[in-house]
Amino acid sequence: MALTFTDQNFQETVLDSEKVAIIDFWAEWCGPCRALTPIIEQLSTEYDGKAVIGKVNVDNNPEISMKYGIRNIPTILFIKNGEVVDKAVGVVPKAMLEQTLQKHM
């Protein structure tokens, strides 16, 4: 199951992690975001223990969203060693997310 990242736990669960992280910035009212949710859930199961995969609700966590300049959702950031190493905006195929993830593992 995908993790829930918040303003409070982001530093510890994402930035301080030694694993690559996939962060899905989303909102409940966003249709494309809901379409992406099953893909994020599948990746979190398939890469359990190998990567940190989860979601940030932009409405509930404005600090993280502002820090990374999230203007459109869904936006997916790939973070490794505390730095953004890749980004995808919009609904993207699972294969593309997997390819990007494996590139940074």
pLDDT digits (tens, 9 = 90+) for 16-65: 999 999 999 999 999 999 999 999 999 999 999 999 999 999 999 999 99
**What's the half-sphere exposure (Cβ side, CA atoms, 13 Å) at 100?**
20
Q: What is the pLDDT of residue 82?
A: 95
The alpha-helical segments, DSSP class H, found in 9-93 are 10, 31-46, 62-67
pLDDT digits (tens, 9 = 90+) for 83-92: 999 999 999 9
Catalytic residues: 30, 33
**Domain positions in the chain:** 3-104
What class, spelled out in words, does domain 3-104 have in CATH?
A: alpha beta
Return the axis-axis angle of helices 94-104 and 31-46, rounded to nearest 10°.
50
Which pTM was predicted?
0.95
Residue 101 confidence class, pLDDT cut points 50, 70, 90? very high
Q: What residues does 55 pair with on adjacent strands?
A: 4, 24
Residue 1 confidence class, pLDDT cut points 50, 70, 90? confident
d(CA 26, CA 34): 8
Q: Give how far Cα 55 sits from Cα of 14, 20, 41, 50, Å.
A: 11, 14, 10, 17
